[in-house]
Every structure is written in C-alpha cells, then in structure tokens.
Amino acid sequence: MKRMNIVITGHVDHGKSTLTGRLLADTGSLPEGKLEAVKAMCAGNSRPFEYAFLLDALADEQKQGITIDSARVFFKSPLREYIIIDAPGHIEFLKNMLSGASRASAAVLIIDAKEGIAENSRRHGLLLSLLGIRQVVVVVNKMDLVNYSRDVFDRICGDYSLFLAELGVQPQHFIPVAAREGVNLISGSANTPWYTGKSVLEALDSFDDEQSLEDKPFAMSLQDVYKFTENNDDRRIFAGTPSTGTISAGDRVAFLPSGKTSVISTVEGFNTEQRFNAGAGEATGFTLETQVYVKPGEVMVKEGEGSIKVSDRFRANIFWLGSKPFETGREYKLKIGCAKTSVTIEKIEKLIDAQSLGKEADRKGIRRHEAATLLLKTSAPVAFDTFDANEPLGRFVIIDDYNIAGGGIILEALEKSSARKVRAYSKHEVELNRFIRKHYPHWECINIEE
C-alpha cells in the first residue's frame, strides 16, 4: 500500500488537532480503548472531552490546551496509508511546525470560519510555498459557529485564494468543515447542502503520489566513503542516496565541485541479489574503477550530463528560525545535501513580509520568523541546483550556534566571485600540473587549467 505524509497546519485554536483526532476516530484508526480512555480522563478531571486530547500527548499540551510539538499519527484510507503530521499553530513553535511540514508532500491549511484569516494562516501559506509543498487543501473549520453560512465560506475562500495566488500556491479544494461535529470529514453533510465538493478524506485521497525522480539526470550528494577492513573487506565504497536519476555499472561519473572523474565499477548492497544499477531515493553505494579522493558533500553526476551548478554565489529565499537574527557581516555554516561550507549574506534583496508581502529597505538582518530573498556567498564553491530543477539539491539549511536556524531554497545560481588570482601559466607548468593530477590524485593538486 502507498504511503503519504500530510501536514495539518494553520493558526492556533483553528482546530488542527481536533480535525486530526476526529479523522482518526471516524476512520476507525484509533487503538481499542483509546477514545474511551481519553473520555474517562476528561470526566475524571471534570473537563469537556476534546478530540485534540487524542494527539496532544505531552503533559504541558494537555494542561494548556495547545499543541507544542508536531505528532506523527498513522491512519489508513482504503487507498493509502497516511502519516498525519499535526503541527503546532502557535508562533512560538513555528520551528516545530516547519520540522513537521518539511516532511510532508501535501498540506491541509485550516482557517477558523468565525475568526477568519489570521496572521499565521498567511504565514503558514507562505512557508508551505517556501518548503515547496504544492498540493494544498484549505479547510474552513468551525462552520457550525457561523450557522454553516455559505457567504462566510465564500468570503474566506476568495480572500485567501488571492493571498495564496501571490505566492504561487493554488489550493486543489476549499472545504467547509465542522471538525468537532464530523461535518464533511469523511463524507458530505446535510448541514452544507450548498457544498457539493469533496470531503476532507476524499480530498486527501485525490492527492497525487510523489513523482518518481528517476527520469531526471543523475545526481547524488556523496554521503561518505567507507573502507571497512574487517573480514578482509577491501572495497572502498562511495555511499549516498541519489536524489535524481539512475546509474549503472560502467557509467562515467564526475564529482563536483572538484571535477574528478571515474567509472562505476560495482553497485554494492547487503542481503540483496547482485545489482548493476541504482536510482533516485535508494540508499546505496558504489565502487569505482579508479581511486579518486573526494570528500563527502561532493555531488556525483554522470559526466557531461545534468544541470548541477558549481558556484560560491546564489540567490535564495530563506526563512529564519534562530533566536538571534541572520545578519550581514557574520559567518554561518551552510548545508546543501551532505556538503558543509561557511556562508555570509552578500545582500538582502527584499523582505517577504507575511502580512503584506511588501518590501522593507536597508535591512541588516533577518529576524526570527521572517522570510526574505537574498544573495548568499560561500567561502568555497559548492555544487547545487535550483529548487525548480532539483528539489533535494536546491534547498539548504543554515546553522547558527549548533542549531539549524534557517532554511531556504535556491532560486538562481550567480557567477562565481572573481576573488581568485588570475595568472598565466607556462606550457611546462600546465603539463606538470596535468601529470601530477593524473598520477598522484591523492595529492589533491588543484587544476590550473580551469
């Protein structure tokens, strides 16, 4: 059976956990006795039963009635197995919402019919677009509190689709729901005779499965190189998970940014039949015909193929989660795939304000929970792609003070900075350099012909 990760997101108190809890209960996905146990717990503490208590498992969450961290819950429709990521809506826990959402391939955005579009309804829409989640359903919840008014529903849908359109997000469905009452969750409801669209469960089932990335050009960020000597193992294995494409024994490969090349000798595995090829998403490993000395983080491609760029400058959209701002003039650590390098802000081009999407001139830094378009410069060239062309190699995180403090997607590669000294080498120098690189690759001599 296929499996899909879905994130439920929206402003605090708009009913994410209630929707998820009720969905679990109505699809019969709860373990026996769980519903009764939570009901008994509520009765014992003389508080009304809430479906949200099925998910808010942490003691502080139940005490305060909010979701602090995203929970993974599992449920099945006849079509698919889902992991529902119930993400917190409170601004303070935005990083938890993002952690949950970045694992999802589709999203349900919830808006409270009575309260209307709130600050986080906008911010979450923006963040979903920055995470690259394109399959979105908007649920207008608590319709019972507005007497199932079609006008209220239409107004919210109109306003919110205008906002999402600016972000390039086009929801597949808008659904009027009363999660606590189970209205339009599994099937249609007499309460909303004017609504003839899909229920939430039907909308989830209508999402497309993730597309296979095997048809794209091959690219793999090298995760590690292994040489285990036990039991006389003399393999030197280049391990990683290809993000796109397929590769076979005999293919010529190049590593970027070093430019070193070799030929795939074998595809390695454990407890599997001998294989001759591997493709996107498989955690695999290769031996090479000639020994090249490359570091983790280099991107292996088929020689002369694909769109992978090598540069030390690019334009990106980022969102910031760190308690300290992301500032110009300071050095941070950047991770793309398995590559790590230090990075600085070259220029802040514009702030993507969650409220107005407007501009704010002359900013020196990006504050917590803000998003921006900026130019970044790394200390050494790295191999990457734009997010449009290759999602896994077009996204990155920024580390500040040991923590992931920001994430972003690459919009465009920029020209390499021309900091390197340009000088003319003699014919003899070039020949000698070529000789050394060919016969003594482990000296890691730079290529002066570039």
Partner 1 sequence: MDHLQKLEAHSVYILREAYREFKSLSMLWSIGKDSTVLLWLTRKAFFGHVPFPLIHIDTAFKVPEMIAYRNELCLKYRINLIVGQNTEALANNETFPGGLDRLACCKKLKTEALVNTLSGAWGRQRLDFETGALVPDKSREAFTGVIAGVRADEEGSRSKERVFSARDEKSEWDTASQPPELWNQYKTEFAPGTHVRIHPLLDWTELNIWEYIERENIPVIPLYFNQGDGRRYRSLGCWPCTKPVESEARTVTEIIDELKSGKFRNIAERSGREQDKEGGGTLEALRKDGYM
Residues interacting with partner 1, by CB under 8 A? 1-3, 28, 30-34, 41, 55, 57-60, 62, 68-74, 81, 83, 95-96, 98-99, 102-103, 223-224, 226, 228, 230-231, 233, 235, 237, 239, 241, 268-271, 281-283, 285, 296, 321, 333, 335, 338, 392, 395, 397, 399, 402-404, 407
> Minimum Å distance from CB 175 to partner 1?
26
Nearer to partner 1, 201 or 237 (CB): 237
Which is nearest to 283 in space by CA: 268, 271, 299?
A: 268
User: Cα(301)–Cα(261) distance, rounded to whole angstroms?
Assistant: 10
Nearer to partner 1, 84 or 352 (CB): 84
For residue 121, give both structure tokens.
């309804």
Residue type, 369: H
Residue type, 54: L
User: Cα(325)–Cα(37) distance, rounded to whole angstroms?
Assistant: 45
Neighbour tally for 446: CB within 10 Å: 11
> Minimum Å distance from CB 395 to partner 1?
6
Q: CB of 287 within 8 A of CB of 235? A: yes
Nearer to partner 1, 74 or 194 (CB): 74
For residue 329, give both structure tokens.
């003039």
> Minimum Å distance from CB 30 to partner 1?
8
Residue type, 105: S
Helix and strand element counts for the chain (H, E) = 8, 22
Nearer to partner 1, 32 or 449 (CB): 32
Nearer to partner 1, 254 or 405 (CB): 405
Nearer to partner 1, 230 or 449 (CB): 230
Q: CB of 405 within 8 A of CB of 318? A: no
> Minimum Å distance from CB 253 to partner 1?
19
> Minimum Å distance from CB 421 to partner 1?
33
> Minimum Å distance from CB 94 to partner 1?
9
Nearer to partner 1, 285 or 306 (CB): 285
User: Cα(33)–Cα(26) distance, rounded to whole angstroms?
Assistant: 14
Which is nearest to 392 in space by CA: 174, 132, 175?
A: 132
Nearer to partner 1, 33 or 168 (CB): 33
Collapsed DSSP state (helix, strand, coil) of residue 284: strand
> Minimum Å distance from CB 424 to partner 1?
40
> Minimum Å distance from CB 136 to partner 1?
18
Residue type, 378: T
> Minimum Å distance from CB 218 to partner 1?
16
User: Cα(424)–Cα(366) distance, rounded to whole angstroms?
Assistant: 42
User: Cα(232)–Cα(230) distance, rounded to whole angstroms?
Assistant: 5
Which is nearest to 22 in space by CA: 42, 47, 52, 61?
A: 52
User: Cα dihedral sign for 413, 417, 420, 425?
Assistant: positive
> Minimum Å distance from CB 33 to partner 1?
8
Q: CB of 88 within 8 A of CB of 42? A: no
Nearer to partner 1, 270 or 443 (CB): 270
Nearer to partner 1, 296 or 441 (CB): 296
> Minimum Å distance from CB 65 to partner 1?
15
With tokens 């769109």, the residue in question is: 307
- What are the DSSP calls for 158-182, one per residue? HHHHHHHHHTT---SEEEE-BTTTT
- Tell me how far CA of residue 42 lies from CA of 47, 48, 61, in angstroms: 5, 6, 14
Residue type, 161: S
Nearer to partner 1, 68 or 145 (CB): 68
